[in-house]
Amino acid sequence: MNILAFGASTSKSSINQQFAAFAAHKLDSKKVEVLDLSKYQLPIYSVDEESENGVPQDAISFYNTIQAADVLVISMAEHNGSYTAAFKNLFDWATRHELQVFANKPMILLATAPGGRGGLGVLETATDRFPRHGGNVLGTFSLPFFGKNFVENEITDLDLAGQFTTFTERMKAALAAPQRA
């Protein structure tokens, strides 16, 4: 099983990048690729830009990277209750190349944030939106108060750690089950 994991942010110190990598490695896969979204340099999406220059190669490369994966683990960074501008722009461009950008890949959606909601706003938005673009969302998990609850690559709150262990066991079982097209 080839897992592609990323935090939906271009921040060099993205807590969602850390959380996505942590979660992906808990799925017992021999191959986990952690993708750095900052490597995709794109103009701001507009119809004019697309009609003049087409879909940028970086958006097509992102799409191709998704296609090469068996499973997606995405931790959604939240800016003002929604996607980060960088992720939204990359997502918009990729869907101009292929609307069903996620191609029915099994997808685990996560979010974390410094505050008590743990990125729930963006997680709810992504859970609603991604299936419209071929996302096969198997489950979601939100980790609140990242700085307090995630230390040295471990969830330190015992209740949250137990919930996360249960969640990853459910995700492993879902990934092992035959997928319906």
- Taking only the tens place, the pLDDT of each residue in 105-151 is 999 999 999 999 999 999 999 999 999 999 999 999 999 999 999 99
pLDDT at residue number 54: 98
pLDDT at residue number 180: 54
Q: Tokens for 160?
A: 């949250």
10 Å Cβ neighbour count for 67?
A: 13
Rounded CA-CA distance 28/84 in Å is: 29
Q: Tokens 């690559």 map to which residue?
A: 153
pLDDT at 69 over 80: yes
Rounded CA-CA distance 15/7 in Å is: 8
Domain ranges of the chain: 2-176
pLDDT at 179 over 70: no
Pairing of strands 2-7, 31-34: parallel
pLDDT at 29 over 70: yes
Rounded CA-CA distance 58/62 in Å is: 6
* Second-level CATH architecture of 2-176: 3-Layer(aba) Sandwich (3.40)
SS3 82: strand
Instruction: Give the residue from 48, 128, 41, 136 showing the smallest Cα distance to 96.
Output: 48
Longest dimension (CA), the chain: 54
CA dihedral sign, ordered 84, 86, 90, 93: positive
Has this prediction a pTM greater than 0.75? yes
